[in-house]
Amino acid sequence: MSGEILFIDGPGGSASRLVRALGTLAAEVPSSEFALIGGLAVMTRLGRVHRATDDLDAAAQSVDGGPSRLSILVGGGESGQGRRSVEGVKVDCIDVGSTPAVDLDPEELPDDEFDRAFLLAHRWALDSAQEASLTVVSEQRVPLTTATCRVATPAALVAMKLQSAPRRRAQRAHKGPNDYGDLFALLVQPEAFDDIVSDLPNAPQGLGRWCHERIEIELVAGAGRTARAIRQTMLLDPPTPGDIERVGRAVLLRLGPG
């Protein structure tokens, strides 16, 4: 799924602004120290703009026990989390420590299943990210802007969406439907689907088994609830509960026993 990704957009369009801002970040921070996650990462893995998004999200490596270089750049300070405008785009940076997910001490992981999944999924997203070149072109195929960085894999994106969608806080509850929409879009894209069912069982520290359980909960048992959430998005052709359940069962079949 690495390589060059083309988006068609106008000079002032959403994709142009996001990729221009990403290029600014990539020029300032070593590529090994952060990975693109969130909406633009999903679009990169889909190879198309499937919904509106107005911000950038990144998982970043902490440096010497302090905040990441990316967090400092976007104003996170000592908190390790930052959000400020870069090239007119809001940037969310999540610092994920300096230890790969596979090497984390299980005894030190959070007891809460969603907190544990958050930590593991975001660190795994950084560990497994692949380099991609994002290029925006006009309808006449004239290059407008480009950026090269590491992007979370489809499997890591699914893991992050499975923990974030059900528990969005009230002030960001509108993000939950987009998370479910992203999750479904990744699972129905054939190339992404193949990568997900190949990589997810290898997710570290039991994260793969947890995702297996959440897929059954969210996409099979809870297919109706998930369909209602996705209908709140701007997708032109939202899936039915039957569509979601079929995809969920197909994923579980390919993943095998949890």
Please state the rounded mean pLDDT for residues 191-202: 96
Q: How confident is the model at residue 94 (pLDDT cuts 50, 70, 90)?
A: very high
Domain ranges of the chain: 3-255
Please state the rounded mean pLDDT for residues 171-177: 68
DSSP-assigned letters across all residues of 188-241:
HSHHHHHHHHHHGGG-TTTHHHHHHHHHIIIIIITHHHHHHHHTTS--SSPPPH
CB within 8 Å of 114: residues ≥ 6 apart: 163, 166, 167
Query: What pLDDT is recorded for position 151?
Result: 97
Question: pTM of the entire structure?
Answer: 0.92
Report CA Rg, the chain.
Answer: 18
Neighbours of 256 (CB within 10 A): 9
| pLDDT surpasses 50 at 106 | yes
pLDDT digit string (tens) for 9-28?
Answer: 877 788 899 999 999 999 99
CB within 8 Å of 239: residues ≥ 6 apart: 184, 227, 230, 247
Query: What pLDDT is recorded for position 3?
Result: 64
Q: Are the C-beta atoms of residues 235 and 51 closer than 8 Å to each other?
A: yes
CB within 8 Å of 103: residues ≥ 6 apart: none
Please state the rounded mean pLDDT for residues 227-256: 93
Q: Closest Cα to residue 181, out of 218, 128, 220, 134?
A: 218
Query: What pLDDT is recorded for position 200?
Result: 97
Q: CA distances (Å), 214 to each of 59, 130, 217, in order? A: 22, 25, 5
Measure the CA–CA gap between 179 and 159, rounded to whole angstroms.
11
- Measured over the CA atoms of residue 34, residue 35, residue 38 and residue 44, the dihedral's sign is positive
Query: What pLDDT is recorded for position 234?
Result: 75
- The per-residue pLDDT of the chain, averaged, comes to 90
Please state the rounded mean pLDDT for residues 219-243: 92
Query: What pLDDT is recorded for position 173?
Result: 59
Q: Are the C-beta atoms of residues 86 and 77 closer than 8 Å to each other?
A: no
